[in-house]
Amino acid sequence: MVKGRLWLKVLVGMGLGLIVGTLLGPSVGLVAPNTGTLIGNWLAFPGQLFLATIQMIVIPLVIASVVRGLAASENLDQLRRLGVRVTTFFVITTAIAAAIGLWIGSLVNPGSMMKGLVAPESSEAGNAVKDLPSAVDLPQTLIGLLPGNPLDAMVEGQMLQVVLFSIIVGIALVSMEQNKSRPMLDLLDSLQQICMTVVGWAMRLAPYAVFGLMAQLTTTIGVSAMLGMASYVATVVLGLLIMLGVYLLILRVIGGQAPIRFLRDTRDVLLLAFSTSSSAAVMPLSIKTAEDKLGVRPSVSQFVIPLGATINMNGTALYQAVATIFLAQVYGIELGMGSMALVVAMAVGASIGSPATPGVGIVILAMVLQTVGVPPAGIALIMGVDRILDMCRTAINVTGDLVTCRLMENWSGRRLDSSPAAEQP
């Protein structure tokens, strides 16, 4: 997948797409707007085909990867500890990301430049908590996380339910005798290889997909419209860079790996994540990068990365926090400490189980805004630049998955090295 300098081809495609989209878009006006939109849609065809192919194969790939990753451990105690640590790390870093988003949004105050352009809506802030599930409904909500019908969950794309189903199957296979679980594992191995083959075909389209998607984006909204939201975009990007610094610091202090080497080893997958705006689209390449470049064992990478693509949405959580602060500032709504804590909790909770596909952050943002009393209609103000920010936050999401892989490999490797079995000759 990474032969022939994929990262360079992606960068070239991105740059050419930006140039072509600018020439065809409303900023330059070489063609009529309708004609530019038509050409942009056709240029985006390879990109849409790329994403559709990946989305077609992602659910069987998640099932095969999670089950095989769990079954490869062959140790229930180690599996339980790994699962608890991975989930805890994801939740903590997502909460940190949301808190960084609130802090940087309050510090930069990007909404001040647009204040007064819309009518204030502060009267709606009093209805902030009415949509939260009550304590009476909470048990039923938790039970609803388990897929009553796994096939329905797969058809509807309920990624969290699919992952939970795969985890249960994987734990069951670990608990069974090896001769009885081996046929299923062999079948899943074949399924995983089929998925990787299809993904390999799709990866050949990646540079053309990036070119077309960037051209369509610029053709549709134009450069001037993007510059109008520069303060908001800069605030989100600054927050994401701070989160990247937090990850690299954790990797250096706890994982003992140099940040520059990590970025060099993962540049292919991070650029592809930035280009496609989909954690799911790059999941096969993330697994391959973790195993080949970061030295992570398949039993760790094939468990952490599919799980991370589902529940590790720290870039998305940070973006939602900044967008909430921005729209609250635009509408003149004061968010107190309680509302900000609610934003963090909602960002963490809503990120868990959200599909790893482009544009899902807007859907989650609408729920967060409604919960804290900010009019969801304000989303229309930021829709024009959402694609660019979606690309940035997806790269941070994938960075978090790879950093977690490296940390869990260090932890599980040390445990294995220090175990009594490892000391026997």
Question: Which of the four pLDDT bands, split at 50, 70 and 90, describes residue 76?
Answer: low
pTM metric for this prediction: 0.67
Residue 142 has pLDDT above 70, yes or no: no
**Homologous superfamily of 9-417 in CATH?**
Sodium:dicarboxylate symporter (1.10.3860.10)
Residue 118 has pLDDT above 70, yes or no: no
Q: What is the CB neighbour count within 10 angstroms for residue 152?
A: 11
To the nearest whole number, what is the mean pLDDT of the chain?
77
Residue 2 has pLDDT above 60, yes or no: no
Candidates 54, 50, 390, 56; CA nearest to 208 is: 50
**Greater model confidence, 101 or 416:** 101
Instruction: Check: CB of residue 212 under 8 Å from CB of residue 276.
Output: no
Once rounded to an integer, what is the mean pLDDT over residues 150-156? 82
Kindly report, residue by residue over 160-209, the tens digit of the pLDDT.
Answer: 677 778 878 888 887 888 788 888 888 988 987 888 788 778 777 878 88
Q: What are the C-alpha distances in Å from 241 to residues 191, 319, 340, 391?
A: 37, 12, 21, 13
> From CA 181, how far away is CA 175, in angstroms rounded?
9
Kindly report, residue by residue over 281-317, the tens digit of the pLDDT.
Answer: 788 888 888 988 888 888 888 888 887 877 788 888 8
> From CA 421, how far away is CA 424, in angstroms rounded?
6
Q: Give per-residue burial for 66-98: e unless 16+ CB within 10 Å, then b.
A: bbbbbbbbebeebbeebbebbeebbbebbbbbb
Kindly report, residue by residue over 349-373, the tens digit of the pLDDT.
Answer: 666 545 555 555 666 677 677 667 7
